[in-house]
Amino acid sequence: MRNYLLAALTLFLFSCSQNTNTNQNASVMDIDSTLAKKDFHELNIMSLEGDSRIDFSSFQGKKVLIVNVASKCGYTYQYEGLQKLHEEHGDKVQIIGFPCNQFLFQEPGDKDKIRSFCSVNYGVTFPITEKIKVKGRGQHPIYKWLTKENLNKKGNYKVSWNFNKFLISENGELLNHFDSKKEPMGDEILSAIGAI
């Protein structure tokens, strides 16, 4: 009798875990199918302060450069180039920083520390979003759209490290993905935004 109960309990637990996995997979598929119907300009995200949403529809007619940022990375100095790009070519491209702590925990701070770091060290005035995940479980829908070909209609991309960059066209189409080594004020990015 005891063996029967153990077997029944094991079968029940296995069935529950399968149902949970099925529900999670269905949920992910639902999110992906919803995103597949969305244009980039229909997406939005909370600001770093959490008191307002950054609505991408307000960027129609302008290129957008999305960058996953971190305060303790070897590429953190690129904040300076991003701010310069914002100041000198803000009429051509909107820069948005997306803090992420997924690469060696290089963005550990809360919103106040992130905002203070960006402002004090680099004078950042372009929008910074809430801290998000750019890959794996819990990946933010914006980064799902950016990295999956079935959503962005351009290609599959991997966010390899902090300061990867995605360029979106004036019409909300994914134009390009740049790895971390590409400098914000480098010829490749300046050419892509039409600054040279």
Angle between helices 78-89 and 111-122 (to 10 degrees): 70
Catalytic residue check, 73: yes
Spot the catalytic one: 16, 73, 100, 118: 73
Tokens of 184: 């914000």
Tokens of 52: 């307002």
Residue 21, CA atoms < 13 Å, CB-side half-sphere: 6
Burial of 69 (C-beta count, 10 Å sphere; 0-12/13-18/19+): buried
Residue 30, CA atoms < 13 Å, CB-side half-sphere: 6
* Active centre residues (catalytic): 73
